[in-house]
Amino acid sequence: EQLHWNPQTTSFEDLVRIMVEHDMAKVAVERANEHVEFNLEEFLEKGIDK
């Protein structure tokens, strides 16, 4: 994937930071999706309480 970095102006340390930030954001989205899926499954199993 493109991380929008320039090898001529981006230091190795900055590249590592960019990569880690990208990976952490990806994990956050994956965890949020897992949480939503779990809650949806639980809701569908229990039905609607009114």
DSSP states along the chain: ------TTT--HHHHHHHHHHHHHHHHHHHHHHHHHHHHHHHHHHH----
pLDDT (tens digit per residue) in 4-50:
888 999 999 999 999 999 999 999 999 888 888 888 888 888 876 64
Length in residues, the chain: 50
Between vectors from CA 21 to CA 30 and to CA 39, what angle results, nearest 5°? 20
Q: Is the pTM of this model over 0.85?
A: no
pLDDT for the residue numbered 49: 61
Which single residue is written with the structure tokens 């960019």?
18
pLDDT for the residue numbered 8: 92
Largest CA distance in the chain: 61
